[in-house]
């Protein structure tokens, strides 16, 4: 085991970090809200060819206090917050019902940047969840309808049969929807934007909500 771990350590050390960092982090005219700054960096990431920049890490808390995390897709950003979808029957859905606070993390190597957001999460109106469900590919809808996310799967054939059964239901009733599928919005009360240059000079800016406005400050790396 020790030899294997040493081999992994050697391989990891050989990998380049911050491969796409610019020589200098340019000075920025920071906007008044993290929403505007997020949109600015998202555009930069897309233009730089970032792979799936809409994928983010959603961190929640289990009932026993242990953290839990997974990758989800960002669906929208508006005045209500950063939107994502989940089933209320899934672990993340149950965790959010039990403790409606979460954190989101984006890391875009293409621009050597990270964004962290944290705050309360609210479930959006059911009509928005239904619209999101209806807009998904048929097989995605069948998988959602089959449910049982994160339950033990003893036989892969059981999954195939469950999805096939839901595909048959959708063929008979294309308007079929899941009552458990919802959109959520994380409304951050804290946001942090981090960027590195090739000389390992890190620039960090934090936004913190103060009533109806945002306070912003630089942070030590």
| Residue ranges of the binding site for FMN | 92, 114, 149-150, 194, 204
Instruction: Taking each helix axis as running N to C, give the angle between helix 156-172 and helix 138-146, from 0 to 180 degrees, rounded to the nearest 10.
Output: 120
For 209, the token pair is 């909500």
Q: For 122, how many CA atoms within 13 A lie in the half-sphere containing its CB?
A: 9
Annotated binding site: 92, 114, 149-150, 194, 204
> In this structure, what is the dihedral angle of CA atoms 67, 55, 218, 61, given to the nearest 10 degrees?
-10
């Amino acid at each position: 085991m020790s030899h294997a771990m040493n081999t992994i350590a050697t391989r990891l050390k050989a990998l380049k970090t911050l491969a796409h960092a610019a020589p200098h982090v340019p000075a920025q005219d920071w906007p008044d809200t993290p929403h505007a700054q997020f949109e600015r960096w998202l555009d930069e990431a897309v233009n730089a060819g970032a792979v799936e920049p809409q994928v983010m890490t959603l961190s929640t808390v289990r009932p026993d206090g242990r953290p839990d995390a997974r990758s989800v897709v960002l669906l929208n950003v508006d005045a209500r917050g950063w939107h994502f979808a989940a089933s209320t029957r899934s672990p993340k859905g149950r965790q959010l019902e039990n403790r409606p606070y979460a954190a989101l993390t984006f890391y875009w190597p293409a621009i050597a940047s990270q964004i962290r957001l944290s705050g309360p999460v609210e479930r959006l109106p059911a009509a928005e969840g239904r619209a999101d469900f209806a807009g998904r590919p048929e097989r995605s809808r069948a998988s959602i309808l089959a449910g049982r996310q994160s339950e033990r799967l003893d036989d892969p054939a059981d999954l195939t049969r469950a999805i096939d059964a839901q595909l048959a239901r959708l063929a008979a009733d294309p308007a079929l929807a899941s009552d458990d599928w919802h959109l959520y919005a994380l409304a951050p009360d804290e946001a942090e934007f981090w960027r590195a240059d090739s000389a390992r000079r890190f620039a960090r800016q934090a936004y913190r909500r103060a009533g109806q406005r945002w306070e912003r400050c630089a942070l030590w790396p």
